[in-house]
Chain A
Amino acid sequence: MAAESTTLLAAEGIGKRFGGVQALSEVGFTIRRGEIYGLIGPNGAGKTTLFNVLTGIYAPDGGSFTFDGRPLMGLKPNEVAARGIARTFQNIRLFGNLSALENVMVGRHVRTRTGVWGAISRHRRARDEEAGIQRRAVDLLEYVGVAPRAMDLAKNLPYGFQRRLEIARALATDPKLLALDEPAAGMNATETASLEALLHNIRRDGTTILLIEHDMKLVMGVCDRVLVLDYGRRIAEGPAAAVQKDPAVISAYLGGDVSLNLKGA
């Protein structure tokens, strides 16, 4: 463990094309252990595509990821999760007809082993494991503040609870990297503030975070460093405050640059 490098995830030259659209081209970045790394950019900049390539939903056309010292290529989404990357979705994807508790318990799947025989016979080890799963799930629900509604079906939870439940479910997989796709979308100021506190806690407790977010106040508040994408290209990277002042970033967001407008048309 002594030799563990400070880099958790390194991406190099990631490219992805959909038909005629180059969604990502030559994107590279590194995420350090223990930081909150922001990924921002205008709509359609390729942020979610990058997420999907990273988590194995799409295969990239080129480039490579190295995660936790080992290459992370050609893996299926479930294998990526097993390696230690857990994600949430931009448009919440909970298991609607399962209770909040069960949703989180599903997250423990990848870290537990009970098979069919264990499930049917409920031998000692299976019972212990199941109890452990439930304990851990209850803890996580308390951690994100959804415990009072643990027995409600996920689809019946209020929006803010659903967002946080999705984070708890992802945390249940014991991720080294937690990838959040616009967790504050649709939240009001109070909810966003409590989300910000939650993110700080998660980082404090040792999980690195990759955050896609449009809420700049949140990004500036929590992110150590930020990567800016536009039209699938990396246009800036660095500490949040510095990136905010970068002229390329400003023009990408405001679209003030004439050449950018032409590209858009």
Chain B
Amino acid sequence: MLQLVDVKGRPALAFAGLVIVAVALAVLPFVLTGIGTFWVRITNLAILYCLLALGLNIVVGFAGLLDLGYIAFYAVGAYVYAMLASPHFGLHLPFWIILPIGAAVACVFGVLLGAPTLKLRGDYLAIVTLGFGEIIRIFLNNLSQPINITSGPQGIARIDPFRIGTFDFSRTSSILGLTFTGPMKYYYLLLVVLLVVIAINLRLQDSRIGRAWEAIREDEVAARAMGINTRNMKLLAFAMGASFGGISGGMFSAIQGFISPESFILVESIMVLSMVVLGGMGNVWGVVIGAVLLSFAPELLREWVGPVQQAVFGRTLLDPEVIRMLLFGLALVLMMLFRPAGILPSALRKRELETRRTAG
């Protein structure tokens, strides 16, 4: 977190900044609940998107492998959770057992997809991953026959929330005199997970592994000539990205309580990709900002677009959903044309290095 602020020689200021951010994040759900519980749910979804975007960032941002079917791993994680913790099969395993299983299954899918295809050139890989994502979705949609595995298009409902003993994340409870609603509890849980994932991303990037990924992204031939086993490193990136997707999917399942193939369509993959691109491929903080912006944008649009159009034209011409998609599209195009490095300037990363150098 410190890297966001220019801390050189001003530790007190940095500490103050950190405290302010921490307090703001801690009281945020209370403020949002004041506006409407709905906004806490939206914030939780935004954090889930951050997690997804950070997982995809390992694949796309660090290793430079364009994965257009990333949502498939999210789907795998979500379905693993739903099947093992819902009345669908009558299984109700605790979440701390299922989440690792979901991550592992997603990881296996990642390796299965990656092993034969990673030697392909980047644009081919993109199309194959896209196809893979579609295959997964088609199977989810149809595997209700002859044996009902995924419950098909109607999806799986009444999925268990996270529970630790009697502490149920979906129920309102009172702790130290404060009332915590279900979404608020999930918010804190998600926030912790997010911080952990951010830390993992930052540490990976600034390590032997992360440098190897970035070397592959920059020039694969040169990377191999430097002794990097590009095949294994790419597979590792794929597997790690998939695992993050699987964990996020499991959390999505538990928080929503209901999943169906509808949630895992191609557009979702592209949305997560947009977040990574908008924020700046490979820039961890940029990706977080990109994910937050793009997840809140549609909700803010929903709030404003309708009324504004009503006021100007007397009726709603464009659905906020459509505007959102147009914005995604535009974001991808304009970013590539004018700012391929993303919102956050690369100077930031350079500064990080310098700070570390003066520190060490």
Contacts and interface: CB of A to CB of B under 8 A. Distances in A.
A109 interface: yes
Interface residues of B, number: 31
Contacts of A98: 211, 214-215, 218
Interface in B199-222: 200, 203-204, 207-212, 214-215, 218-219, 221-222
Contacts of A76: 224, 229
Contacts of B207: 114, 118-119, 126, 130
Interface stretch (A62-70, A82-90, A246-254): A82-90
Interface in B125-161: none
Nearest to B216: A95
B230 interface: yes
A93 B209 CA distance: 20
A72 B120 CA distance: 26
Given A93-B222, A116-B204, A81 B236 contact: no
Given A95-B214, A98-B215, A173 B360 contact: no
Interface in B330-360: 346, 350, 353-354, 357, 360
A95 B222 contact: yes
Contacts, number: 113
A170 B225 CA distance: 9
B228 A110 contact: yes
B107 interface: no
B227 interface: yes
A119 B221 contact: no
A77 B224 contact: yes
Nearest to A76: B224
Contacts of B223: 95, 106
Contacts of B214: 95, 97-98, 102, 106
Contacts of B317: none
A119 B353 contact: no
Interface residues of A, number: 44
B342 to A, nearest CB: 12
A211 interface: no
Contacts of B224: 76-78, 81
A135 to B, nearest CB: 10
Contacts of A89: 221-222, 225
A227 B285 CA distance: 53
Given A99-B353, A116-B236, A120-B200, A81 B218 contact: no
B219 A120 contact: no
A137 B208 CA distance: 13
A109 B208 contact: yes
A109 B212 CA distance: 7
10 contacts: A78-B226, A86-B227, A87-B225, A93-B221, A101-B353, A106-B223, A114-B208, A116-B209, A119-B204, A126-B207
Task: In the A-B complex, list the 8 residue pairs whose CB atoms are closest, starting with the nearest.
Answer: A110-B227, A81-B227, A119-B207, A95-B218, A93-B222, A77-B224, A106-B215, A114-B208
